[in-house]
Structure 1
Amino acid sequence: MTPTRSRLRSAPAPRPARRRWWRRLRLPLLVAAGLVLAAAGLWGRLPDPREFVRALIGADYGWVAAAVALQGASLGAFAWQQRAVMGALGVRLTARRAAAVTMARTAISISMPAGAAVSAGYAVREYQRAGVAKELAAASMIVSGLTSIGGLTVLYLTGGLAVLGTDPALLLSPRPLAVVGGLTLLTTAAIVLGRRMPAIRTSVLPDDGRVLRWLRATLASAHEAWQAGAALRPRDWTAAVLFFAVNWLADLLCLAAACRAVGLPIGVVTLAGIYLGVQIVRQVPLTPGGVGVVDTALVAGLTAAGATAVTAAAAVLIYRLISCWLLLPAGGAAALVLRRR
């Protein structure tokens, strides 16, 4: 074999032009698909356009600015939680990268079906690109999922203690108590099982075939990630839960500020009940970002609390613009920055 022929054979094959085209346009296409689904979800659910526009024009934009600041605080708490978990796992993550990954995965989560799982996979890949081991990146996602449930539970229990002296009947409703109790048990069981579960014996699986080899490697990696996350110290778990409690609280207050912007006199306690119910509905990934489902549930809850259909829809639109649709271009820009870095 001549040297020239050897060099020709060892040269890497050029990447197909079709694949390069898809890599460049997949993010704009996902954003466009999210906007189309949003329009489809809201079609026919808004009140008279003239009254609706009148309510938006007459909104108090000081409260709108407060809602924007609160949503920024919510995202900031999420990013700091990621840094804290990574630090507890022994990985130093810069604030800039944590913020960029948080924005990008939030945009993915609200623009795709089953967006939470897709955004978690995206975060794992980005952390791997930053030099984080795959098991540690996956462990951070497991901890984030469990502490997100814990943060929502802490928020509800804290609010319950706050209204205990004013209206104890609010705490005796069986449905919210059952939901919070179930979430608490789920989080505790996942941590205990992760600490005590023995190593998965993947050797019992046959080693012939690509699918079986992939299954063995996936089971072993998932078990290592679960154990790494569950092995965190109690103070690290507490800090992660508190960060997520701040994340949920700031998002709730963002909704409250949007309601105040259009003059809805609904108390924070009532909003907390509506918000908790919406978050439970939101966990079922029927549409990207809960399009149509979350909006309808919020409007129905505010209307049941005494708001008119026009003002309720205006408040929900302001809240969803700030907490959902404006995050799509911001997350796309963050993803582009991460790709270039």
Structure 2
Amino acid sequence: MTSPADLAVFLGRRRARWHAGVLLTVLLGGLYLVRRHWPVLEDGAWRLAGADRGWLLAGAAAAVGTWAASALAQQGAVVRRLPRRRLLAAQFAASAAGHLLPAGLGAGAVNLRFLMRCGLPAGRSVGALVVKATAGAAVRLALIAVLTPACPGLLRLPPLSPVTLTVAAGGLALLAVLPASPWWGRCRRALSAALTDIRALHVSPVRAVALWGGSLAFAALHCLVLIAVTRAVALPLPPLQVALLYLAASSAAALLPTPGGLGSLDAALALALTVSGAPTVAAASAVLGYRLLTVWVPLLPGLVVLGVLVRRKAL
């Protein structure tokens, strides 16, 4: 007879293999696209090298602000007052860890350990992370709904290939089967618990403002990073359109569990920019610049901060 512990280990290994398989597939697809479009990426990199330094510095400042916004949202998701400096450092470290493991597992693990080290029970810590993630998703959808009327005709699907239509049909078939699956019930219970926690935190206006304000600032600052980069490389798209394209592309890329949206976000963002009329080289340059400011430059310092927090037993 299988014990509950053995069953949990087995399910954990199955999930890990599934994530690894999806990650490998997406990364191989990304490498294929890089090889196929290498001349465009090379030209984009040279264009980025000659970009306006003032706009790039503005984008870097907005990228730094995303960690403060994330810390504010995380504070709003819990009742206990968290140590500010360690909270900010944890968000910086979590952003680096999020680029190493798929589906946000790295960032979630860092924040979970931080909240538990601050004295929150495991259940409440997980609930706080779910509340923060739910608020972030709701804010993104709300921003898309607000910006779409201001940019009519911007969001449109590219021509769909037979392979894409087949995959979409398979996804719809999977959704039709899910309600009969036990996983669907677990997802519904998790969402119900998150909505209950969100309603409960609105008893405190300060917590509600911190959660929703931090979530809004986080999404807006990421939009500002991309807007600043597009200004730096002279990409001819208005700021509101760039913001809407980023929100739509990042929301679509979140459906693929790659580390930090590696490959999925890059492809979705480049496609969104080019379909909306941006030159291919300029779009590639903007995506490279956005990744440079939000991933590659802070990655090593973030890992160093992560190591310091672990050594000091803050995680």
TM-score (norm: length of structure 2):
0.70
Counterpart code for 2:86: R
Relative to structure 1, the CA distance from residue 49 to residue 153 in structure 2 (aligned partners, 3 Å threshold; closer, same or farther) is: closer
Residue-by-residue CA offset, 1:2-22 (whole Å, 9 max, x unaligned): xxxxxxxxxxxxxxxxxxxxx
Give distance in 2, aligned partners of 1:221 and 1:153: 20
Matches for 1:284-303 after TM superposition, within 5 Å: 284-303=255-274
Alpha carbons 1:42, 1:291 under 8 Å: kept: no
CA gap of 1:102–1:312, structure 2 versus 1, over 3 A, is same
Q: What is the aligned counterpart of 2:93 among 104, 111, 121?
A: 104
The aligned counterpart of 2:61 is 69
Q: Is the 8 A contact 2:227 2:243 kept in 1?
A: no
Runs (4+) of structure 1 moved beyond 6 Å?
220-226
1:82 aligns with 2:74: yes
- The answer to whether 1:58 aligns with 2:47 is no
Q: CA deviation at 1:221?
A: 11
Q: Residues 147, 50 of structure 1: CA spacing in aligned structure 2 closer, same or farther, 3 A cutoff?
A: closer
Residue matched to 2:182: none
Deviations 1:38-94 (A, max 9, x none): 9847632333566334312321011000000011112211112212333xx1x1211
Residue 279 of structure 1: aligned partner: 250
Change (3 A) 1:150 1:225: closer
Which protein shows a greater Rg? Answer: 1
Residue number in structure 1 paired with 2:11: none
Q: Distance in 2 between matches of 1:55 and 1:79?
A: 34
Gapped runs of 5+ residues in structure 1? 1-32, 176-219
C-alpha separation between the residues in 1 aligned to 2:122 and 2:32? 37
Q: Which residue of 2 aligns with 1:258?
A: 229
Q: Deviations over 1:180-234 (max 9, x none)?
A: xxxxxxxxxxxxxxxxxxxxxxxxxxxxxxxxxxxxxxxx999988855542125
Matches within 5 A, 1:16-55: 40=31, 43-44=34-35, 45-48=37-40, 51-55=43-47
Structure-2 change in CA distance of 1:174 and 1:291 (3 Å): closer
Contact 2:256 2:264 in 1 (8 A): no
The TM-score, its normalising length taken from structure 1, stands at 0.65
Contact (CA 8 Å) 1:264, 1:311: kept in 2 or not? yes
What is the alpha-carbon distance in structure 2 between the residues aligned to residue 106 and residue 147 of structure 1? 18
Quote the offset at 1:312 in angstroms: 1.4
Partner of 2:201: 232
CA distance in 1, matches of 2:285, 2:197: 45
For 2:271, give the aligned amino acid: A
CA distance in 1, matches of 2:291, 2:302: 15
Paired AA for residue 101 in structure 1: A
Q: How many residues in Structure 1 have an aligned counterpart in Structure 2?
A: 253
What's the C-alpha RMSD, in Å, of the aligned pairs?
A: 3.2
Query: For the residues of structure 2 that align with 1:257 and 1:174, how far apart are their CA atoms?
Result: 24
Bigger mean CA offset, 59-68 vs 236-245: 236-245
- 1:10 aligned residue: none
1:75 is paired with a residue whose SS is helix
Residue in structure 2 matched with residue 196 of structure 1 by the alignment:
none
Residues 278 and 297 in structure 1, CA contact (< 8 A), matched pair in contact too: yes
Please list the CA deviations of residues 233-283 of structure 1 after superposition, one character each: whole Å capped at 9, or x if unmatched: 253335412211111011011101111111112112221332122122221
Q: Does 1:307 align with 2:306?
A: no
